[in-house]
Amino acid sequence: MIGTQVVAARNALTHRWQRLSSFVGDQEPLAVATVGIMTIALVSALVGFLLVSPFTIIPFGIFLIAASYGWLNYQGLTARMLTLSMTVSTILILLLITLFIFMKSVPVIQYESQSVLGVSVPGLRMFTQVQWDAVSPPIRYSMVPMIHGTVMVTTIATVVAAPLGVSAALFLSEIAPTTVRELVKPGVEILAGIPSIVYGFIGFTILSPWAADQFQITGQGSYLFVGIVVGLMALPTVVSVAEDALNSVPESMKSGSLAMGTTDWQTMTSITLPAAFSGVSAAVLLGVGRAIGETMAATVMLRGVPQLTKPLYNAFYGQATLTSLIANNYGEADGLQMDALFAAGVILFITVIVISIGSQYIEWQMQRKLGGES
Amino acid sequence: MAGATETRLISRDTSGVDAIAAVTIGLSALLFALSLAALFEIITISDPVAGIPIVTLLGGILVLLGGVVIGFGIGSYVGVVETQPSSSAGLVASATFSLVWFALGGIMAQVIGVGGITWLPIALIIGGAAFAVTAVLREDIGSTLPAGAVTLFIGVVYLTGTIGPAWIWELSWEQQASLTAEFVIPVGTLFCALLTGWAAAKTYGGFGARGRRMGAYLLIYLNASSIVGVLFILIAFTTLKGVPGLFTGATVGLGVGPTVFGVTLPISLPFVMNGASLFNEFQGVLPAIVGTIWLVIGAVLFAVPLGVGAAVFLTEYAERGRFTQVVEVATNGLWSTPSIVFGLFGFAFLVPRFGGNKSLISGMLTLGFMLLPLVLITSREAILAVPDEYRDASAALGVSKWQTIRSVVVPAALPGVVTGVILGVGRIAGETAPILLTMTGGTFVPGGQTADVIGGFQFTATPPFVANPELLQATTALPFQLYALITAGVGLGDTVSSPEQFQWATAFVLLFIVLSFYAVGIGARYYFRRKLQHE
């Protein structure tokens, strides 16, 4: 089994190599040389930049010269090489982000090791106790309070954004007359455009004092209202992705249902929504991803004390989320505490990437199911 | 679009019942508005209106609505009202009502004060009963009786004064919180108004398929209009609060303003034309505005060529396969990466490579990384939308692939790309979290420190031969300025005459700049689309 796979992989590789060499053979030797120099220069510039070398500018200059020479003489090939390197850069950036935030969080993961059955598990203590104390010994960097906060905020935000977002998407894609849609759709987009710090500012100056008064809580900041504000911010994501999903349901399916004499609401609930279900759930997932990563509103509106609320389901008090922890503490943090902030970043990053890949997988499934037409 | 049902094939005459149902919907809408007003303390629930306390008034309307809704159901059931009900109200309605009654039962049990978890079985029984009524009985009873009963019950509670303006329920939690009448009464009313409105809309449609459509449409339209309403309120509120601060010390007249490109402006607006200084009569946020502009320029210069180039490669050169799939995953991953993680990355990766301090260029590149996936995704869509006939026609003329791309594909896709870039810029211009860790300095920046990138270039004898201290300096930007103003809080009193006005004015200027990007972007898209349709 594995043997055949290896053979297949080798065949694919040789096939690719043959295609590449025949492609190179078709080009002028000088053009190939130019592109080769460009590639080498660009890679060395990148390496130089990674190594914090002051000489980075030299290979970069060579790259620029080679690129302009290529552009003047062999435009097609140069353009192809340039666009390829630009494409690779997106992957590169994601890899660099992963690499750097992981690297920075290694010390605190080692510090927070805990032994289980005699085996030391790095980073385990971040999740087995709830103490965050960066000043007085024992110094502990627990992530549990912040994970709790993020879960609380995200849950409330999802409860707000998911039903409202899906219903608004239904409205935009199936119900609204053209003129109304032309008005509401930009409105939803603008809702996404309002900077998070402005949401946070309004929440901080208006909503938080109001909530403190209404629920007679001590001090300001509650997960409940941060969740509602973050839900409002995640709403546009849910709406636009869910609307795309609903639009991708073939018109023939809807018309077929309507021809059976159903009302359009029946068509929506029994044909369109089920057919687009995976796309709509991907939309909700992406909304959840947005809510998890929302920083400024949470930072400004929460108390910023890394603690659990008492009792755990007390949403009227808001302490800190993973994002607000970073934004609150980056200023005075150094050494191990800064690394702990990176650990929080790693948790955020992993969660969000998993959600992103999951929702893409769901969307692929849906495209395959609805087949061919899109 | 499913437009086939727009003509009503079956049309009943408008009967008296329809009229009553319409009035009920209207009354529910009024109640909805009233409770919103009470929630946000535009009206106070303890104040009387025309001699009647508001709580009593709300209770009275609720009892009336509840009674009418139950009346609809029973009337339809015994055949007085002509309807076409289905055999059951459906699973969604059943689940909703059982949840509502479960919560209501639980709260009642807790308030009455049964010990331990005795409230759970009580709530379960009541919720189960509601489920049975909704799911088993015919639709007309199933969708009106539970809704009407909730409303009637809550109305009676308000009428009898069981929950009055002074009512309070202290949750005995370790971190103290209470539910007060000011919150519970409006929210309860709001909720009941939704239920009765929905039930009355169903009656208006005569239950059955048309009734359900009516009920659902009512809620969906309400949802859509409240989203637009929230947007409108947010913008209007910020504008109202921000404008006084913006125009503090503003003067209009010949030669009062600063000199720009040799022309003296006839208007002076200190808030956006001054920095902060002890000697200023009026403080301003000019350095922050200039910082934001440079940030945007830097990010665009970095991300747009990269994103558009990658989009060209992905759509024109690359064959769909493993590689494009990986790029797609990476792009979407970058799109969902939280902004604060970009900030951390910039802090760990860029800051040490640009002199070890927070700097303008680190902020530019960090925002550029954020902008890249947005540009890539929208450009790719725009390029994919260019019809293949264009490419074929160009290729048939014997033009090489790259020339086709350059002179046919990219120009045709340009409107979409430009729109995408503008919307993306609007998004990053308001970002705070990434620049927090990579770029920003103090709260109040003197006008003298306004970044002057063009004038800052110098050539040096040592590698890297080009230096620009302006790019390597920490500066400020509008979103950060607002954040700093919020966290600085009361301490502002010494430097600004009215800190609150100053904060709101900053928020307004930020919102204004960001929304102008959006307005231009959306307008451009609209314009290009109309042009395409006319061709």
Average pLDDT over residues B316-332: 86
Residues A79 and A175 in one domain: no
Structure-model confidence comparison of residues B370 and A193, the more confident one: B370
Cα A262 to Cα A156: distance, rounded to the nearest angstrom: 35
> Is a pLDDT exceeding 90 seen at residue B243?
no
Assigned CATH topology for domain B285-447+470-534: MetI-like fold (1.10.3720)
Cα A282 to Cα A79: distance, rounded to the nearest angstrom: 36
Is the distance from CB of B45 to CB of B185 less than 8 angstroms? yes
Structure-model confidence comparison of residues A160 and A136, the more confident one: A160
**What band does B7 get if pLDDT is binned at 50, 70 and 90?**
very low
- To the nearest whole percent, how much of chain B has pLDDT over 90? 15
Enclosing domain of residue A69? 2-110
Residues A186 and A322 in one domain: yes
Residues A314 and A366 in one domain: yes
Task: Pick the closest to residue A145 from A363, A338, A325 (CA basis).
Answer: A325
> Is a pLDDT exceeding 60 seen at residue A244?
yes
Residue B462: per-residue pLDDT: 60
Task: Pick the closest to residue B518 from B427, B405, B414, B387 (CA basis).
Answer: B427
Domain ranges in chain B?
Answer: 16-88+137-230, 285-447+470-534
Residue B4: per-residue pLDDT: 46
> Is a pLDDT exceeding 60 seen at residue A7?
yes
- Residue A46 touches chain B, beta carbons under 8 Å: no
Average pLDDT, chain B: 82
Residue B497: per-residue pLDDT: 67
Residues A82 and A175 in one domain: no
pLDDT tens profile A30-78: 888 888 888 888 888 888 888 877 777 888 888 888 888 888 888 888 8
- Contact residues, A window 92-151, toward B, CB-based 8 Å cutoff: 93-94, 96-97, 100-101, 103-104
Residue A374: per-residue pLDDT: 43
Q: Does the N-terminal peptide bond of residue A138 adopt cis geometry, omega within 30 degrees of 0?
A: yes
Residue B3: per-residue pLDDT: 44
Nearest to B483 among A91, A216, A296 (CB): A296
Residues A192 and A104 in one domain: no
- What residues of B are in contact with residue A171 (Cβ under 8 Å)? 220-221, 223-224
Cβ neighbours for B346, distance < 8 A, ≥ 6 positions apart: B362, B363, B365, B366, B369, B434, B437, B438
Residue B467: per-residue pLDDT: 65
**What band does A354 get if pLDDT is binned at 50, 70 and 90?**
very high
> Is a pLDDT exceeding 50 seen at residue B508?
yes
A265–B483 CB contact, under 8 Å:
no
Nearest to A310 among B173, B309, B510 (CB): B173
- What residues of A are in contact with residue B5 (Cβ under 8 Å)? 258, 263-264
Exposure letters B309-333 (e unless 16+ CB within 10 A, then b): bbbbbbbbebeeeeeeeebbbbbbb
pLDDT tens profile B363-394: 899 999 999 999 999 999 889 888 888 888 98
Looking at A143-152, A259-268, A314-323, B250-259, which range is the least confident one? B250-259
Residues A50 and A175 in one domain: no
Compute how many other C-beta atoms are within 10 angstroms of the C-beta atom of residue B207: 27
Nearest to A52 among B317, B353, B406 (CB): B353
Average pLDDT over residues A133-153: 88
Residues A191 and A319 in one domain: yes
Chosen domain end from A110, A129, A151: A110
Average pLDDT over residues A336-360: 92
Residue B6: per-residue pLDDT: 45
Average pLDDT over residues A129-137: 82
Residue B351: per-residue pLDDT: 86
Residue B261: per-residue pLDDT: 66
Q: What is the CATH number of the domain that holds A207?
A: 1.10.3720.10
> Is a pLDDT exceeding 50 seen at residue A373?
no
Instruction: Give me the interface pTM, i.e. the ipTM.
Output: 0.89
B220–A101 CB contact, under 8 Å:
no
Q: How far is B34 from chain A (nearest CA, A)?
A: 18
Chosen domain end from A110, A127, A156: A110
Cα A224 to Cα A203: distance, rounded to the nearest angstrom: 12
> Is a pLDDT exceeding 90 seen at residue A350?
yes
Nearest to A168 among B227, B235, B431 (CB): B227
- Flag whether A323 is in a domain: yes
- Flag whether A210 is in a domain: yes
Nearest to A190 among B231, B330, B345 (CB): B231
Compute how many other C-beta atoms are within 10 angstroms of the C-beta atom of residue A47: 12
- What residues of A are in contact with residue B330 (Cβ under 8 Å)? 90-91, 93-94
> Is a pLDDT exceeding 60 seen at residue B491?
no
Q: Does the N-terminal peptide bond of residue B85 adopt cis geometry, omega within 30 degrees of 0?
A: no
Compute how many other C-beta atoms are within 10 angstroms of the C-beta atom of residue A323: 31
The torsion angle over the Cα atoms of residues A371, A373, B2 and B3, rounded to 10 degrees, is -160
Residue B1: per-residue pLDDT: 44
Task: Pick the closest to residue B514 from B292, B181, B258 (CA basis).
Answer: B292
Residue B174: per-residue pLDDT: 76
Structure-model confidence comparison of residues B266 and A365, the more confident one: A365
Residue A253: per-residue pLDDT: 87
> Is a pLDDT exceeding 50 seen at residue A105?
yes
> Is a pLDDT exceeding 90 seen at residue A163?
yes
Structure tokens at A143: 């992530």
- To the nearest whole percent, how much of chain A has pLDDT over 70? 98
Residue B281: per-residue pLDDT: 66
Average pLDDT over residues B283-292: 82
Can you give the three-state secondary structure of B148-182, one letter per residue? HHHHHHHHHHHHCCCCCCCCEEEECCCCCEEEEHH
> Is a pLDDT exceeding 80 seen at residue B172?
no
The number of C-beta contacts closer than 8 angstroms across A and B is 315
Looking at A35-44, A206-215, B14-23, B301-310, which range is the least confident one? B14-23
Residue A119 phi/psi, 5° resolution? -100, 130
- Residue A317 touches chain B, beta carbons under 8 Å: yes
B432–A197 CB contact, under 8 Å:
yes
- What residues of A are in contact with residue B210 (Cβ under 8 Å)? 263
Contacts 24+ apart (CB under 8 A), B134-137: B134/B88, B134/B89, B134/B93, B134/B94, B134/B97, B134/B98, B135/B88, B135/B89, B135/B91, B135/B94, B136/B88, B137/B88
Residue B453: per-residue pLDDT: 66
pLDDT tens profile A217-235: 888 888 999 999 999 999 9
- Flag whether A115 is in a domain: no
**What band does B236 get if pLDDT is binned at 50, 70 and 90?**
very high
State whether residue B50 is helix, strand or coil. Answer: coil
Is the distance from CB of A211 to CB of A217 less than 8 angstroms? yes
Compute how many other C-beta atoms are within 10 angstroms of the C-beta atom of residue A369: 11
- Residue A171 touches chain B, beta carbons under 8 Å: yes
> Is a pLDDT exceeding 50 seen at residue A241?
yes
Residue B418: per-residue pLDDT: 87
**What band does B8 get if pLDDT is binned at 50, 70 and 90?**
very low
Looking at A246-250, A347-351, B452-456, B522-526, which range is the least confident one? B452-456
- Contact residues, A window 6-45, toward B, CB-based 8 Å cutoff: none
Nearest to A327 among B175, B318, B433 (CB): B433
Burial of A113 (0-12, 13-18, 19+ CB in 10 A): middle
Structural domain total, chain A: 2
DSSP A132: E
Task: Pick the closest to residue A315 from A231, A259, A190 (CA basis).
Answer: A231
Average pLDDT over residues B433-459: 70
Q: Does the N-terminal peptide bond of residue B464 adopt cis geometry, omega within 30 degrees of 0?
A: yes
**What band does B459 get if pLDDT is binned at 50, 70 and 90?**
low
Amino acid at B23: V
Average pLDDT, chain A: 86
- Flag whether A118 is in a domain: no
